[in-house]
Structure 1
Amino acid sequence: MGIKIVTDSLSDLPKKLVKEFDIEVLPLTVIFEDKEYRDGIDLTSEEFYRKLREGSSIPKTSQVTPAKFKEAFDKYLKTHEHIIYISGSSRATGTYQSSIIAKDLFENDNIHIFDSMALSFGCGIMVLKAAQMAKEGKNVQEILLELENMKNRVDHIFTVDTLEYLQKGGRISSTKAAIGTILNIKPILTVEEGLVSQLDQVRGKKKVISKMIEIVKKRSTNIQSQTIGISHADNEELLDEFKRVIKEELKPKDIIVSNIGSAIGTHAGPGTIAIFYMK
C-alpha cells in the first residue's frame, strides 16, 4: 500500500522528478482575461510568460478547491495506506485551507496535511525529500519529522527582473516601484514565516548574482554536501550564468533546475531567478 505524496503546483517541481517519484501535483488555476488554465497542465511556463509579456492585464490565480482535494484523497486512499499532502505556504494561498476542509470530510487519520510555509522549489525540496523517503520505505512519522526539521531550514534567495508585477500584485507600493525602476534597483528577496520579504538590494543587473551568492554563503552551512535548487522565470541566459557562478563559488553536491510556474510567476514576473538550499 505505502505512502502517497501529494503537493500543489506552487512547489514548481520538475516534471521529470514528479514522474520518477510518482508525486501527485494538484494544479492551481490561472485566469487570463476570463479564461481559466490549470497551472502546468493547460499552460506551460513558456506559454504563460509569453502571454504575460504580451498581455495588458495581470492574470489572477485561484486555489485548488476542496472538491479537487476530496477527489484526490478518495482516489489514493483506495491504493495507499497513507497520504501526505505538502502545501505551499498557507499564508500565500488558500489552497492549504482547501485541503483541511477536504480532509474533514473523511473519518480517516491516514490523511496528513503539512504546511511547508515555503514557496516554489523551497516547497519542492521538501516534497522531493518526502517522496525519496517514502520510496525508501520510511514510515509516516519519520517523514513528517524530517519535514518539520526542514521547514525551519529551507531558504529562498531570489530577485525579480522588474518591480512591475510585485506592484500590480499589491506586494509593494506604486511609489516604491516607480523609484526602484528609475534607480534600476534590483531587490534581493526571501521568504520569512511564509511570506515574501526583502533582504537587500543592488543597483543594476550585473551585481545581482554576486550579492545573492554572498548572502547564501553567510546563511548556509555545509553547502558543498547539499543538493540545491535553482529556478527561473523564462530567463535561460541569467540561469546559465547563475549556475556557472554557483558551481565555482558554492560547489554544491548537485543542482536541480526548475521552472518557476504560473502560480508564482504571476506575482514575481518574467526574469525572476532563485536559489533554494538548507540554512
Structure 2
Amino acid sequence: MDPGRPLDAGRTALVVDSSCDVPPERRPANWRVVPIPVIFGDRAFADGVDIDAAAFYERLARAGRLPTTAQPSPGVLEDVMRRALEDHDSAVVLPLSGRMSGTVERARAAAEAVDPARTLVLESGSVTVALGLIALRLQALLERGCTAGEAAAHVAALSAAHRAVFTLETLEFLLRGGRIGRAQAVAGSLLRVRPILQILDGEVAPHSRVRGAHRVLPAIERFVAENSRDDRPLRVAYGHSRRPEVVPELEALVAGVRPLAVTELVAEVGPTVGTHAGPGAYVVAFVHDPPAPHGGGDPS
C-alpha cells in the first residue's frame, strides 16, 4: 500500500485475528476478525465462530488432552480480506506477534494475493488484550483520519512502547503449546513460586518470581509503576481467564499508582490465547499514546 494513501474509519477495515481479545460488543463496525483454529483431539473449532470463551473453558475442564492452536489457512485469510475490501476502500491487518505465530507472514502473503495496493499488514508485537489495546488505539487514529504511513508509524510506536504483565496458575499450557519463549527459564522450579511474566519484544519473557499468590498483585503494581509515567494519561487493558473477580483489584492498584489511568478494555481471554494460558490467568497491558500525526495531541 502506498504510504500516502488516506485512511479513515469509514473507508478502512481493521482486520484482527481471534487472539485479539476485544469482545464483539466492543468491536467497531469496520472491524473484521480472522478466526484461529483451536483443536481438541481430532476436532477443530474456529475461535469466535464454532466456540466462544464459555464453551472453550467448559470443554477444557473435561478434556483428556490439552488443546492446541493452528495458523489460519491462507484461504481463510484471503476470504476475510476480500470480504473486508468489498465494503471498504482499504484494509489494515493487525495479527498477533510474529514471534509467537506465523500468522503475520501468512497475512502478508494473503494480502499480496488479494490486493496489495489496498491492504496493509502491520506487526503488532503483542497478543490478547495487549493486542486489543493497540488495535483500539489504531482505531482512534483511523477515526481522526491519517495516511497509511502514519498508521504504520503509529502501530510501530505503540508496539515498542506498550507493556504487558501477567501471571498464570500453571506454566503447563505454555510449555505444551510451545509459546513460552524466554520464559522457559522459570519453568520446572515453581512449587509455590508464582511467575510474573511479560510480553517483551513480541514474545513471552520472564520478569520475576514471587513466593505465594498474595505477592502477585504487589508485584504487578510495581511493574506498572516502574514502566509508566505519572504525568501522562495511561491507556490500560485488563484480561482474565475465568477470574473476573480479580479485575476490580487490578483496576484499583493501577489507579493507586497512576491516577491518570484510563481503562480502555476489560475482557476475558478467549479460546486462542486461553489454549496457551489456561484458566486462572490475568493480565494488565498499558501504553502511553505516542505523539499523534499532524502535530496534534494524543488521539482520544
Shared fold, TM over 0.5: yes
Q: How does 1:86-97 map to 2 (within 5 A)?
A: 86-97=94-105
Count of matched residue positions in the alignment of Structure 1 and Structure 2? 276
The one-letter amino acid paired with 1:267 is H
The one-letter amino acid paired with 2:84 is Y
Report the Cα distance in structure 2 between the residues aligned to 1:141 and 1:49, rounded to whole angstroms. 40
Please give the TM-score of this superposition, normalised by the length of structure 2: 0.85
Report the Cα distance in structure 1 between the residues aligned to 2:114 and 2:23, rounded to whole angstroms. 31
Question: How far does the alpha carbon of each residue in 1:40-89 deviate from its partner, in whole angstroms, 9 at most, with x for none?
Answer: 23222122122222222110101121111211222232332211001100
- Residue aligned with 2:113, SS: coil
Report the Cα distance in structure 2 between the residues aligned to 1:34 and 1:69, rounded to whole angstroms. 22
Report the Cα distance in structure 2 between the residues aligned to 1:57 and 1:223, rounded to whole angstroms. 48
- Residue aligned with 2:242, SS: coil
The one-letter amino acid paired with 1:12 is D
2:226 is equivalent to residue 205 of structure 1:
no
- Residue aligned with 2:175, SS: helix
RMSD over aligned CA atoms reads 2.2
Is the contact made by 1:21 and 1:135 (CA closer than 8 Å) also made in structure 2?
Answer: no
Match of 1:10 among 15, 19, 25: 19
Over the matched positions of the two proteins, sequence identity in percent amounts to 24
Report the Cα distance in structure 2 between the residues aligned to 1:160 and 1:246, rounded to whole angstroms. 19
1:23/1:179 CA distance change after superposition, 3 Å: same
Give the aligned partner of residue 242 of structure 1. Answer: 250
Match of 1:111 among 114, 119, 129: 119
How much has 1:174 moved relative to structure 2? 9.8
1:223/1:127 CA distance change after superposition, 3 Å: farther
2:62 is equivalent to residue 85 of structure 1:
no
Question: How far does the alpha carbon of each residue in 1:69-124 deviate from its partner, in whole angstroms, 9 at most, with x for none?
Answer: 21122223233221100110011112112112212214532210001111112211
1:88/1:223 CA distance change after superposition, 3 Å: farther
Is the contact made by 1:11 and 1:120 (CA closer than 8 Å) also made in structure 2?
Answer: yes
The one-letter amino acid paired with 1:240 is P
1:177/1:81 CA distance change after superposition, 3 Å: same
Give the aligned partner of residue 121 of structure 1. Answer: 129
Report the Cα distance in structure 2 between the residues aligned to 1:111 and 1:209, rounded to whole angstroms. 41
- Residue aligned with 1:78, SS: helix
Gaps of 5+ in 2: 1-9, 289-300
Give the aligned partner of residue 275 of structure 2. Answer: 266
Gaps of 5+ in 1: none
Give the aligned partner of residue 60 of structure 1. Answer: 68
Give the aligned partner of residue 189 of structure 1. Answer: 197
How much has 1:211 moved relative to structure 2? 0.5
Report the Cα distance in structure 2 between the residues aligned to 1:121 and 1:104, rounded to whole angstroms. 28
Match of 1:179 among 189, 197, 214: 189
1:276/1:117 CA distance change after superposition, 3 Å: same
The one-letter amino acid paired with 1:95 is T
How much has 1:223 moved relative to structure 2? 7.2
Task: List structure 1 segments (4+ residues) > 4 angstroms apart after TM superposition.
Answer: 172-178
The one-letter amino acid paired with 1:4 is A
Report the Cα distance in structure 1 between the residues aligned to 2:250 and 2:114, rounded to whole angstroms. 46
The one-letter amino acid paired with 1:128 is L
2:224 is equivalent to residue 216 of structure 1:
yes
Is the contact made by 2:38 and 2:272 (CA closer than 8 Å) also made in structure 1?
Answer: yes
